[in-house]
Structure 1
Amino acid sequence: MSAGTAALAVWLGAAAPVGAQTITAQTIIAQTPSGDPSAGERVFRQCAACHTVEPDRHRAGPSLYGIFGQSAGAVEGFRYSRAMQEAEIVWDEETLTAYLTDPNGFLPGTTMRIALRNAEDAPDLIAYLRTLGAN
């Protein structure tokens, strides 16, 4: 089992309290198997201070263009944390949901510290990210 797979397994076993209920990555994915890309584009505004969706244009975080289906730490021209460089993660619905809702819980040592304000927005954001680039 790779480090990324082990991190996902540990995270998926844990629950993230949100308001009066407990939400896990499986709950989010099960409740909303496909998100709304238009809504996800609006959710992306939370990310835009640190990320772009333009190829090869980075800010504090890497460009998210073409991220879906890509290996973690693989965007050319961006300097990643050691944790991200060594992670054996492929960005898909499960890994993105886990990372976006609890970055440091999913991948300790990551430099990303800001999670989505509302974990239930993850499917929409992921649907939007899927539309960026051909993967």
Structure 2
Amino acid sequence: MASDTHMVTGGSGFIAIHLVNQLLQAGYNVHTTVRDLNNTRKVQPLRSLQEKYLGKLELFEADLLKPGSFEPAMKDCSVVHHVASPFLMAEKIKDGQKEMVEPALQGTRNVLNSVNSTESVKRVVLTSTSKNSISTGLQFRAAVRSD
């Protein structure tokens, strides 16, 4: 039986809720974050998992763009899965850099800064989605370096 506690950002998102479910099925304790615990529609699937896996899943409220807001959820976790990212439908994006890229980068920085101040975290898993491979007509330059 697994004993580590994993933290998953953006717990109400499509990928995150599947990851939370798989971690629970594997026997892990899970902390996950959502923007608003009072948003019943978004939180209900997680509440159902809490009922199914009693005492194994804790929900926390966190804002991707607020420094330090992930620290309570990270407490005592050994692994952080950063899944949360701003999401807008392509037709609603007016300035991709400002509305998607900059908030995603700042959110990732905020999560990683919280990791740096949380001694229990030993591993970080960063995820991405197919949204990154869908053409929106916006031009982006890769800024990834592999060492």
Q: Confirm or deny a common fold (TM above 0.5).
A: no
- Which is strand-richer, 1 or 2? 2
Which of these two proteins has the greater Rg computed from alpha carbons? 2
| Greater relative CO (CA pairs within 8 A, separation 6+) | 1
Report TM bin, short chain.
Answer: under 0.3
TM-score (norm 1): 0.28
- Which is helix-richer, 1 or 2? 1
TM-score (norm 2): 0.26
